[in-house]
Structure 1
Amino acid sequence: MIELYTDGASSGNPGPGGYGAILRAGSHYKEIAEGFRKTTNNRMELMAVIKGLEALRKPNQHVTVYSDSKYVIDAVEKGWVHGWVRKGFAGKKNKDLWLRFLHTYKLHHVRFIWVKGHAGHPENERCDRLAVQASLDSANWGIDAVFEGGNS
């Protein structure tokens, strides 16, 4: 069983942002973070889940994702994202990331657990610190193609 803790942050919508993720499986522990010059909070929340799942080397892993993002959890758990796909994402944002998420999501057995943000959950708090730190690290910002073109 793999635990994936995630969080995203953005100063402005859009504005500088970042994500943080923690992967834990037994004694294995890995932190992942990246910042972007111009992005949104929802994109960073989703990117944290994507990057965590993409970091898994083998398919068919049992993964529990802990997130404080109702946007991400509800879209998956309530099946909204599948409706968005059927309708070609008409009127919906973040199509690029949702398609990327679905590609990786289908490789594993994933379940989501919502955690209240900023409520003292140790891993959620750590992910928040990673996301904020990455969002402030202008020397290493990536480019979010949706806002600035290029590759993210």
Structure 2
Amino acid sequence: MIELFTDGASRGNPGPGGYGTILRAGAHYKELSQGFRKTTNNRMELLAVIAGLEALKKENQTVLVYSDSKYVVDAVEKGWLRSWLRIDFKGKKNADLWKRFVGIYSKHNVRFKWIRGHAGHPENERCDQLAVAAACSASLLIDRGFEAGLAGGN
């Protein structure tokens, strides 16, 4: 099983933001992060999960995602995502990222576990550090979905 720890950060909402992701499988460990010049916290929380899943080299992996984002965890675990798919994400925020998520999520066996943020969970704390550092970096990318208005307003 692969453990995927994630966090997103935004300095302002919208504002500069970033994500941090840790992939762990046995002795294998990998950290990912990236910053964006204008985005939202929810987009970075979701993008952290997407980046982790996209980094997997093989399909059909069993993945346990640890996230402090109720937005992301509840969307999947409470079935909101299925409803959004039926309406093709019309009127839903972050539709561009949710569509990207569905594409990679469907290639794996993924479960989610919500964890309380800033509560001393070592990997969550590290992901937060990665996300904040990415948001503060000098090499911020353009969140094209957000800046082009494809995000549905958030």
Shorter-chain TM-score: what band? over 0.9
1:5 equivalent in alignment to 2:5: yes
**Structure 1 unaligned spans of 5+:** none
- State how far apart, in whole Å, the 1-side matches of 2:66 and 2:147 are: 30
Letter of the structure 1 residue corresponding to residue 71 of structure 2 = Y
Distance 2:26 2:46 in 1: 25
Task: Tell me the amino acid that sits aligned with residue 88 of structure 1.
Answer: D
Instruction: State the Cα RMSD in Å.
Output: 0.8
TM-score, scaled to structure 1: 0.95
Name the count of aligned residue pairs: 148
TM-fit CA distance, 1:41: 0.2
Alignment of 1:144 with 2:138, yes or no, is: no
* 1:50-129 matched pairs, under 5 angstroms: 50-129=50-129
Distance in 1 (CA, whole Å) between partners of 2:64 and 2:19 is 18
* Distance in 2 between residues matched to 1:9 and 1:3, nearest whole Å: 20
Comparing 59-68 with 80-89, greater Cα deviation is found at 80-89
Structure 2 stretches of 5 or more lacking a match? 149-154
SS of residue paired to 1:119:
coil
Partner-residue secondary structure (3-state), 2:29: strand
Moved over 2 A (4+): 146-149
- After superposition, give the CA deviation of every residue in 1:15-57 in whole Å (9 maximum; x if it has no partner): 0000000000000000000000000000000000000000000
Give 1:13 deviation, angstroms.
Answer: 1.1
Cross-structure match for 1:30 = 30
CA distance in 2, matches of 1:147, 1:41: 12
Structure 1 residue 95: Cα displacement: 0.5
Relative to structure 1, the CA distance from residue 145 to residue 117 in structure 2 (aligned partners, 3 Å threshold; closer, same or farther) is: same
